[in-house]
Chains A and B, each alone.
Chain A
Amino acid sequence: MIDMIVTDPTLLIEYTLMAMLLAVGVAIVRLRDLFAVVMLLGVYSLLSAAWFVSLDALDVGFTEAAVGAGISTLLLLAAMLLTARSAEPVSAIRHWSAFAVALAGGAALFYAIGDMPAFGDPDAPANAYVGLQYLERTQADIGVPNVVTAVLASYRGFDTLGEVVVIFAAGLGVMLLLGMGGRKPRKDGEGEE
Chain B
Amino acid sequence: MIMLWINMAVALAVAVAMALMLSRLFAGPTLYDRVLATNSFGTKTILLLLVYGVLTGESAVTDIALLYALINFVATIAILKFFRYRSLEIALAQMSLRRAIGGGDDE
Contacts and interface: CB of A to CB of B under 8 A. Distances in A.
B78 interface: yes
Interface residue range, chain A: 35 or more
Given A74-B82, A185-B87, A191-B83, A33 B28 contact: yes
B34 A186 contact: no
Interface string B56-93: 10001100100110011011001100111111110000
B67 A62 contact: yes
Interface residue range, chain B: 35 or more
Contacts of A6: 4
Contacts, number: 121
A175 B41 CA distance: 33
A39 interface: yes
B79 A77 contact: yes
| A interface majority secondary structure | helix
A50 B28 contact: no
Interface of B: 4, 7-8, 11-12, 15, 18-19, 22, 25-26, 28, 30-31, 34-35, 37-38, 41-42, 45, 48-49, 51-52, 55-56, 60-61, 64, 67-68, 71-72, 74-75, 78-79, 82-89, 105-107
